[in-house]
Amino acid sequence: MLEPADQTAPLIRARGLTKRFGSFTAVDEIDFDVAPGEAFGFLGPNGAGKTSTMRMIGTVSPATAGELSIFGLDPRQDGASIRARLGVVPQADTLDTELSVIENLLVFGRYFGLSWAESRRRATELLDFVQLTERSKDRVEPLSGGMKRRLVIARALINEPSLLLLDEPTTGLDPQARHLVWDRLYRLKQRGVTLCLTTHYMDEAEQLCDRLVVMDCAKIVAHGSPRELIEKYVSREVLELRFRRAEGETDDSAHLDGQLEGLAERVEQLPDRVLVYTSDGEAVAAAAYERGLRPSSVLVRRSTLEDVFLRLTGRSLVE
Amino acid sequence: MRVFETDLVVFRRSWHSYLISGLSQPFLYLVSMGIGLGVYVNRNGGLPGGVSYIDYVAPALLVTQAMMAAAAESAWPIMGKIEWDKTYIAALNTPVRVGDLLVGDLIWIGFRATLLSVLFLVVILALGAAASPLVLLAVPVAILTALAFAAPIMAFTATQKGDAGFNALFRFGITPLFLFSGTFFPIEKLPEVVQPLAWVTPLYHGVAVARSLSLGEVDPIGWAVHIGALLACFVAGFAVARITFRRRMVV
């Protein structure tokens, strides 16, 4: 029985999922469910445990503890039959540089047990889907980063997977290439393919994910839809105030002490600007002006996932 | 098997250069060593039993070059698949398992050894450098010798981070073997302290069987011992490679 009996049963189910490397805990007892057809994101800074989680779902890395099931199957027993229905876009391209563009797909088709003829049919179709038909016979090496990424996505689709795992699918790509990748992923989602991706780009998460979890230091620190997370963790709008630095002053917000008190839900002082989290940025800006503050620039914007992300995972650089 | 196919797809592109070097290498070796050097060896009454030097060295070179090719194929290309291109890592995202990668590439290395040995045999026959038709059996011996080296070297490759270790392996391992495993002169001529070393290296066993076949000696017990040693080396190498491959790639 490969199909889960209940169509609404989660495609991926994790309870207390843990991964340790020696004494280092990469993933620490996380719980999540991914439903069929949804786009699910793992968001988090580098080293948060996203890739380790993805590799466990991909059945290439055994879990240290906890439960994990994919398609209702156990990765420890049914790794090969799970992988037969998965498409994986790893962080590194892992293309075979000895092979041409189309051969990279054909060989993968064979790994999945397809005939040469069927592999060729699907490969031709997929190259068209990712707009690489003209490069079909070229070597992989001279392709641009965006083209390589698209080829890896095509390769991940050769077995017509029902679940696609993408580990930072657009890291390092230019904006045009990113939008092309997003567009293709969106089309796949419309065809009913379940997407599971990691990213540290907030715009990517907002564009693609129905639901996401924020990971930090091996744990899940928040979960919900992008909108829910924004509503829960930050205000609707953010007012950004910049002040001209007075002569000899090192911290330009020193003189702000208490002056914004009571105007907003939360105030965050950064070295170069002050962020005021509020439901109405314009009103707060006016109130601040009335209190005698003279910022050199005022910007009111909608809150984004980035604000949520920074709120939850902190601003210090994670190495 | 499908892992082996990948290697074949790559091979399709470069088979002509394999063919040319596969034929020219043995020709150059046999002419320079067998005929050139052989003039001096044969002038002093030849080898015991009146064997000419080219007949002596030809089957040994056949085995040796299959071994050298297999050793190289088990080092850099495998490292590339694990670390540089990570194509093994990509393949593991499909139903392919770690053991399939190992078996697939061993088949590939065996296939290349077969090809090289057959080409070498063609040159030997063309130069008339074999005393017995049993020389045909030197080909499977060469394949077995190649695999007896490939398996343990693949096991070693999976423990390496980069290719620094390979230079040491070839400088202090493979090249000395090439020179001192009885290919060019009998190991009995080595100082007695190092003779047991030759005994434990698989190349010596491969060379010994191939030569005895080619010279038409019938020595079933000797053959069995040598073949047994080669098989043992392959099986042990394969068992260790299974472990180091898993350790490297399933984390």
Ordered DSSP codes for A93-152 = ----TTSBHHHHHHHHHHHTT--HHHHHHHHHHHHHHTT-GGGTTSBSTTS-HHHHHHHH
Question: Is A213 contained in some domain?
Answer: yes
In terms of residue numbers, what domain contains A65? 12-225
Q: How many CB atoms lie within 10 A of CB B29?
A: 18
Q: What is the per-residue pLDDT for A124?
A: 96
- The answer to whether residues A125 and A161 belong to one domain is yes
Q: What is the per-residue pLDDT for A202?
A: 82
Question: Is A97 contained in some domain?
Answer: yes
Q: What are the start-end ranges of the H helices in chain B?
A: 2-29, 38-43, 53-73, 76-79, 87-91, 98-126, 138-157, 164-169, 175-180, 195-200, 202-214, 220-249
Q: Which residues of A4-31 are buried (b: 16+ CB within 10 A; e: fewer)?
A: beeeeebbbbbeebbbeeeeebbbbebe
Nearest residue on chain B to A114, judged by CA atoms?
A: B2
- The answer to whether residues A242 and A217 belong to one domain is no
Of A104-113, A164-173, A229-238, B144-153, which range is least confident?
A229-238
Residue numbers in chain B where pLDDT is lower than 70: 1, 12-18, 44-50
Q: What is the per-residue pLDDT for B126?
A: 87
CA–CA min distance A108, chain B (Å):
7
- The answer to whether residues A153 and A193 belong to one domain is yes
Assess A160–B contact: CB distance below 8 Å, yes or no.
no
Question: Is A1 contained in some domain?
Answer: no
Whether the pLDDT of residue A291 is over 90: the answer is no
A1 — pLDDT class (breaks 50, 70, 90): very low
> In Å, what is the CA distance from B102 to each residue of A111, B1, B75, B184, B238?
14, 10, 13, 33, 8
Last residue of a domain, one of A175, A204, A225: A225
Whether the pLDDT of residue A4 is over 50: the answer is no
* pLDDT, mean of residues A163-179: 91
- The answer to whether residues A77 and A208 belong to one domain is yes
- The answer to whether residues A78 and A220 belong to one domain is yes
Whether the pLDDT of residue A54 is over 80: the answer is yes
Interface contact flag, A111 B85, Cβ < 8 Å: no
Q: What is the per-residue pLDDT for B80?
A: 92
- The answer to whether residues A214 and A257 belong to one domain is no
**pLDDT (tens digit per residue) in A231-280:** 888 888 899 988 876 655 555 555 565 677 777 878 888 878 888 888 88
- The answer to whether residues A77 and A108 belong to one domain is yes
Rg (CA), chain B: 19
Nearest residue on chain B to A91, judged by CA atoms?
A: B90
CATH number of the domain at A214, please. 3.40.50.300
Whether the pLDDT of residue A5 is over 50: the answer is no
Q: What is the per-residue pLDDT for A30?
A: 95
Interface contact flag, B2 A83, Cβ < 8 Å: no
Total domains present in chain A: 2
CA–CA min distance A111, chain B (Å):
6
Q: What is the per-residue pLDDT for B29?
A: 77
Residue with tokens 């092309």: A180
Interface contact flag, A94 B6, Cβ < 8 Å: no
CA–CA min distance B157, chain A (Å):
19
**pLDDT (tens digit per residue) in A114-151:** 999 999 999 999 999 999 999 999 999 999 999 999 99
- The answer to whether residues A159 and A196 belong to one domain is yes
> In Å, what is the CA distance from A110 to each residue of A28, A45, A84, A119, B112?
37, 36, 12, 7, 21
Minimum-distance CB partner of A111 among B2, B13, B89: B2
| Contacting residues of A for B13, CB less than 8 Å apart | 98
Assess A107–B contact: CB distance below 8 Å, yes or no.
yes
Within its chain, how far is the Cα of A279 from the centroid? 27
Beta bridge partners of A68: A14
Choose the mutation target among B1, B2, B83, B94 for the interface with A, i.e. most A CBs under 10 Å. B94
CATH number of the domain at A243, please. 3.30.70
- The answer to whether residues A199 and A247 belong to one domain is no
Residues 6+ apart with CB under 8 A from A151: A93, A95, A101, A104, A105, A130, A132, A140, A143
Question: Is A163 contained in some domain?
Answer: yes
Q: What is the per-residue pLDDT for A250?
A: 54
CA–CA min distance B70, chain A (Å):
19
Q: What is the per-residue pLDDT for A306?
A: 84
Q: What is the per-residue pLDDT for A257?
A: 58
* pLDDT, mean of residues A21-44: 94
> In Å, what is the CA distance from A252 to each residue of A256, A293, A315?
8, 12, 19
